[in-house]
Amino acid sequence: MQIIKDEGLDTGNPLSGRVILITGCSSGIGVETAAALFATGADIFITARDERKAMETLSSIRVRHPSSKGRLEFIRMELDKLASVREGAADFLRRSGNTLHVLICNAGVMACPYGKTEDGFEMQFGVNHLAHFALFQLLKEALRKSSRVEKPSRVVMVSSLGHRRSTVRLDDLFFEKSEYHPFNSYGQSKTANIWMANEIERRYGSDASHPIHATSLMPGAIWTDLQRHLSPRAIAQRRTPEASKRFKSLEQGAATTVWAAVGKEWARRGGRYLEDCAEAGPVADKADMTAPGYAPWAYDDEGARKLWQLSRKLTNTGQDEVE
């Protein structure tokens, strides 16, 4: 909410009429992101697979911000099923009148045991990247139609410092040629989030009449349901007094996402990786997985182009008109 106040968006419903879609809002930082943005008067659509939890989220947000005049609605979407992504996107477009100003790709899984999505993709890459890639493609025209030169549409990709564990393994995305490692899989999916934002910016950021700007970000270390697959040993390591100092509250964890979504700083530019409500620089100590900064491969433009084409084929989302 401090970001909202700093941007002058905390009173009078200043973003009334703006439409924001956020994935993964049944718990964690997604809830806090939705709550802060709802306070601006924007229409907020949240996605989740658990309808009960989603409805509880909506009720709690309305109680927290009773003066907001925005709509607050739930879209059912399971990101491990592309059919559900397509159904959810279609439902959203019907209800929003084909209008979308900000897409926030927040949902994800972390370090889970090896598994596959309904479409046969390795689970972390399928959920964290391919589902969001498909969702963007399905909503792209709504983002472009809703964009104006003076107020461009935005895409916000929630990545992680975990991207430093792995670049995208373009020749073995699903660990079919090598041994699966949960954190390496998570790492490549989070690098894919960065590359997707960079490539959206390259393709659509300079559109003369309907630009789309995209950023990626590290929200910070936060205790959420995302950690449910960690081993007892890994949890104990993160619970030490020293390690606990690095953890943020849910509100702090949502702050960089909110800044990317509504901050004036990102109204007319993108293609950058953010951290702690600032643009991140390169990591100084590559061996320190707690240090801030991005990996050398974060701005691999050729890798991003190749991943875009692979993702388009894997999700069967058709040929892009912008190449």
> How many Å apart are CA 277 and CA 3, to the nearest integer?
9
SS3 of residue 267 by DSSP: coil
DSSP 92: H
264 tagged catalytic? no
294 tagged catalytic? no
Q: Regarding beta strands 212-218 and 221-222, do their DSSP bridges make them parallel or antiparallel, or are they unpaired?
A: unpaired
Q: Indicate which residue of 96, 147, 159, 160 is catalytic.
A: 159
DSSP 73: E
> How many Å apart are CA 241 and CA 250, to the nearest integer?
19
Q: Are 54 and 46 in contact (CB under 8 A)?
A: yes
How long a stretch of residues is the chain? 323
Contacts (Cβ under 8 Å, ≥6 apart) of 132: 23, 79, 105, 107, 157, 193, 196
Helices (H) and strands (E) in the chain, counts: 11, 10
123, 125, 127, 133: CA torsion to nearest 10: -150
Contacts 24+ apart (CB under 8 A), 201-209: 201/270, 201/271, 202/271, 202/301, 202/304, 203/320, 203/322, 203/323, 204/144, 204/322, 205/269, 205/270, 205/271, 207/144, 207/147, 208/149, 209/149
313 tagged catalytic? no
Nearest to 293 by CA among 303, 280, 302: 280
Q: Indicate which residue of 147, 153, 160, 186 is catalytic.
A: 186
Q: Indicate which residue of 153, 185, 190, 294 is catalytic.
A: 190
Nearest to 34 by CA among 69, 62, 6, 66: 62
Residue positions annotated with a catalytic role: 159, 186, 190
